[in-house]
Structure 1
């Protein structure tokens, strides 16, 4: 037990120091405009060379710093949240493997080495999702693993296409954008990023992955698994410009943003509401990336990581104190029992909404204004701003149900903020949620953007946010949530609240078509003709021949005489 404590503390401290070192290195890289590209030749096959490549520029160093810092806070937080778990050592190993896979992906500009980190994320995420060994976790883990395998196959196909060019370092081939094979490659990379970042139609796995422990959710939804697809596209952003896939990605990401915001307003599971908010913000990152602003997408990725990790930690503290209840209708008036957690949760929620001068404001407001200045059509315009209003709407709905609503707990519930192990990392991330956006904006955009628009357009984001917040809070005072009148709209509520039947469509066709076809193929082929003419058939022929040879080798006079007579008859016939 002493060894486990030392290992837990040493890994947490190492990640904290590594984060600080990477942040200083990132400052140095920005200040002196320095990047390091390190190659090590491992194997040469004809004209292709398999090389181990590392890229250390301001972007990779800053992202590594954020991943390490959040992982350090998650490990600290896990000391309280997972204290009753008998397999906490296994949990710490899995979290460290998860962080290592993400770091490996961040510093690799080579598709072969990227695949190692990419597959590592998929494998470890599956193990973490099924960490609580029950049927729900097993189903969620299988959905997560199979959805991400589609992206893995796309990366493998992209590696084979890159072999045609003579190498796998994609930094050297951005001038080949006009070639047809390179367009196919970009499409495969976009498909891989869409599966990992859960864009439509691969969105079902992200809320299902909430079966993992809450500290893992804080790590996954802030800076590791779901951001891997966005980061990959940021690195490939030069190849995206002017392609038809870029326009398709803009529409899909805007629909994802709208669908997630709409679904969160009808969800009652605390962790799934926050998961759907992550899905909505991933749509924001993908959409601004497809408009041609990779640095802005990276800016929102980092600022979102700070307050989303804080949001999940606060949700975990609430669930931990609520004896593992996750239904927000069973919570209420937590501001009186958990003031510190309530403060941090409100802070993260307001940062998510884009409250002025919090972390989310600097990136989100800039994204909306840049989108308004870009050449987007009315569909994308409405999807952007309706999704922005829906974000504030479900945030204030969550605030009402959990923090300021009626007291719905048990009469003898003990809900407190006494666990300093869980509250200390929340305060650290709370500082990041307040100051992180401003500091990042000064670092990433030292030269300010020139934004010119009318007063109506300038105040549109603020107006939509206020309207969404008022509606989200006031609807809860009405009888809509608790009366039977809502049953008249039951079908529509089920459709909207179930992510447009996406979990159903992701699992039902698989179980009813692919698995049934596989069962039929197994019966007809593996256990049918293939078995008859394959293993069993060969076995029967071999046994027959073997028995014949055994009979010959028994030195029986009758066998020899019979054989002699047959040979004589055959020779006579031939003559």
Structure 2
């Protein structure tokens, strides 16, 4: 009973905070004001430590969405995690996670950003290893070590920012853009964002983080951990405009989008398919951001958060009912057994595909039309549209395996929609997935955007989506499945299905090799040669000298006589030489 009350209190508090922040964002957006608050934490003589907070429409709106999703996820966890003996610990970890994200969102200062950034990394490690087994420990280690690269990049950026005399980056963005040397900070921030948002070659940790409980996955993949990198780049977008880093990021994010979309079509783990779809959408946000459309990237970030959290919550409800089985091939005909859950799943899936007038449509369609209108190279143009087709393809493949045909699980398997607690949490997000896109587009874009394209370009998005849906449904069909030529090549299926061998390279290659190298360096240098010629040698030399001095201190007559005779001998030899 105590656990339930903690969940309920957290839900109510976060939900009310979310509503307050949402209306605050409307007020700030309407009046075009920015609040910059400085809090003097410690003042000692002439030195003071000041904490700065930036409250503008972007931070208010993002915080309200994070708190809304986290409140519904905690409410959903009340039933989903009801069998857990450490429910209090789980809720506290989730609240710490949300608090770290809040600190990152409102920080215009590199130091406080690092606090929130590292807080996310540390708490995410604790949540990934929550189910304490070897797979979770490996996934947690991969997540933590991959994200450490970004942490180091941020630390280096902090060191370089000392050239400006302050860490409040928000004041120096325009100057940094003109200063060629300070473009190093831009490169380091891009590297940090790439690790946190799992772009190539740091993509392998994102599907591995699925070892965490499903409510955590819903929170991580929608609005917290993986979006931190995108949000940081949105804040630094002035610095990145028309630089070589923008071109590199456009290529890498486009390839990430393509790789994850292709991999999801070869995957049978329900949670991993949704994780790979997150990776694909992150690639989309990063690529449009690198083209200079920061508002569009932020718009898609918010709409994506709504339907992605809903997708994970529906997947969690299905896994819960399937007795913890995540394999698509054991599902089937779920619409009969779990109608409400499947209804929410279909809404989220269609929003992901960009179905007109759902949340995903407003952002994805606008992004693709802006790309069609922009001066972008042919390869990036192909990656945008082909990856969109792949998104629809794996979404309809998921629909085929879970909702059509017969149930492939045990005949004695009882399936139902489950408790109303989980359903209420899902339905709250379903309403937002339907209304959120239009509401946000009216709020964020006060001036209507008119995009004029030729008929083939205008209809290209629709054609790509319809083709993707047909192909996704067909390749899942059993008669077509065995005729699929790609499945006859085991190596190709393995290569595409394993994210281009990135998990193997990251774990067996980079991490294993670097840890082994670190062990050998520590043994050979720190505890070996440098110890022998450094600390230990000084110690032994001092010991020898002290023994010699000790002999003199003993006032031995023999020593004085020997010393006197040596001096005489030296004197005689010198006299003879002269």
> Normalized against structure 2, the TM-score is what?
0.93
Listed as ranges, the matches of 1:80-95 within 5 Å are 80-95=79-94
Give 1:247-258 correspondences, 5 Å limit. Answer: 247-258=247-258
Match of 2:18 in 1: 19
In the TM superposition, what whole-angstrom CA distance separates every residue of 1:218-274 from its partner, at most 9, and x where no partner exists?
000000011111111111111221112112111111111111100100011111100
User: Aligned equivalents of 2:58 and 2:245: distance in 1?
Assistant: 25
- The answer to whether structure 1 residue 245 and structure 2 residue 245 are counterparts is yes
| Secondary structure, aligned partner of 1:226 | helix
Structure 2 distance, partners of 1:465, 1:395, is 11
**Deviation of residue 519 (structure 1)?**
3.4
Q: What is the CA–CA distance in structure 1 between the aligned matches of 2:244 and 2:530, rounded to whole Å?
A: 45
SS of the equivalent of 1:52 reads strand
Displacement of 1:516 in angstroms is 3.4
Q: State the partner residue of 2:425.
A: 425
1:502-560 deviation digits (Å, cap 9, x = unpaired): 1122122225532333333234223432343445555655666777788999x8xxx93
Distance 1:527 1:422, change over 3 A: same
Aligned pairs (5 A) from 1:378-527: 378-479=378-479, 481=481, 488-511=488-511, 513-527=513-527
Question: Do structure 1's residue 70 and structure 2's residue 66 form an aligned pair?
Answer: no
In the aligned structure 1, how far is the partner of 2:16 from the partner of 2:521? Answer: 55
Instruction: Give distance in 1, aligned partners of 2:298 and 2:52.
Output: 22
d(CA) in 1 for partners of 2:320 and 2:496?
29
For residue 302 of structure 1, report the CA deviation from its aligned partner: 0.5
Matched residue, 2:576: none
- The change in CA–CA distance for 1:484 and 1:438 in structure 2 (over 3 A counts) is closer
C-alpha contact 2:321 2:418 (8 A) present in aligned 1 = no
In the TM superposition, what are the counterparts of 1:108-507 in structure 2 within 5 Å?
108-176=107-175, 177-479=177-479, 481=481, 488-507=488-507
Moved more, 537-546 or 350-359: 537-546
Residues 532-547 of structure 1: matches in 2 within 5 Å? 532-534=532-534, 537=537
**5+ residue gaps in structure 1?**
none
Unmatched 5+ stretches in structure 2: 572-578
CA 1:148 to 1:44, structure 2 compared with 1: closer, same or farther past 3 Å?
farther
Change in Cα spacing, 1:323 to 1:545, as seen in structure 2 (3 Å) is farther
Distance in structure 2 (CA, Å) of the matches to 1:66 and 1:257: 24
Q: Contact 2:475–2:484 at 8 Å: present in 1 too?
A: no
Secondary structure at the residue paired with 2:225? coil
Instruction: Evaluate the alpha carbon distance shift between residue 571 and residue 70 of structure 1 in structure 2; reply closer, same or farther with a 3 A threshold.
Output: same
Q: Is the contact made by 1:317 and 1:341 (CA closer than 8 Å) also made in structure 2?
A: yes
After superposition, give the CA deviation of every residue in 1:488-511 in whole Å (9 maximum; x if it has no partner): 311111111111111122122225
Distance 1:423 1:37 in 2: 40
The verdict on how the C-alpha distance between 1:48 and 1:363 changes in structure 2, with shifts beyond 3 A counting, is: farther
Which secondary structure does the structure 2 equivalent of 1:336 belong to? helix
Query: Could you tell me which residue of structure 1 aligns to residue 60 of structure 2?
Result: 61
- The residue matched to 1:356 in structure 2 has which SS? coil
Query: Is the CA contact (8 Å cut-off) linking 1:394 and 1:472 kept in structure 2?
Result: yes
Judge which range, 518-527 or 420-429, deviates more: 518-527
* Aligned: 1:569 with 2:565: yes
- Kept after mapping to 2: 8 A contact 1:151/1:196: yes
SS of the residue corresponding to residue 371 of structure 1 reads helix
**Aligned 8 A contact 1:203 1:502 in 2:** yes
Distance apart, 1:148 and its partner CA = 1.0
Q: Check the 8 A contact 1:393/1:468 in 2, yes or no.
A: yes
RMSD, aligned CA: 2.4
Deviation track 1:379-398 (CA, whole Å, cap 9, x = no partner) reads 11111111011000000000
Q: Deviations over 1:351-370 (max 9, x none)?
A: 00000111100111011101
How many residues align structurally?
570
Task: Give the direction of change, closer, same or farther, for the CA distance of 1:444–1:92 in structure 2 (3 Å limit).
Answer: same
SS at match of 2:451: coil
TM-score, with structure 1 as normaliser: 0.94
Q: Does 1:79 align with 2:78?
A: yes
Q: Distance in 1 between matches of 2:536 and 2:244?
A: 53
**Match of residue 33 from structure 1:** 32
SS state at 1:392 partner: helix
Q: For residues 133 and 482 of structure 1, do their structure 2 counterparts lie closer, same or farther at Cα, with a shift above 3 Å needed?
A: farther
**How far apart are residue 479 of structure 1 and its match?**
3.9
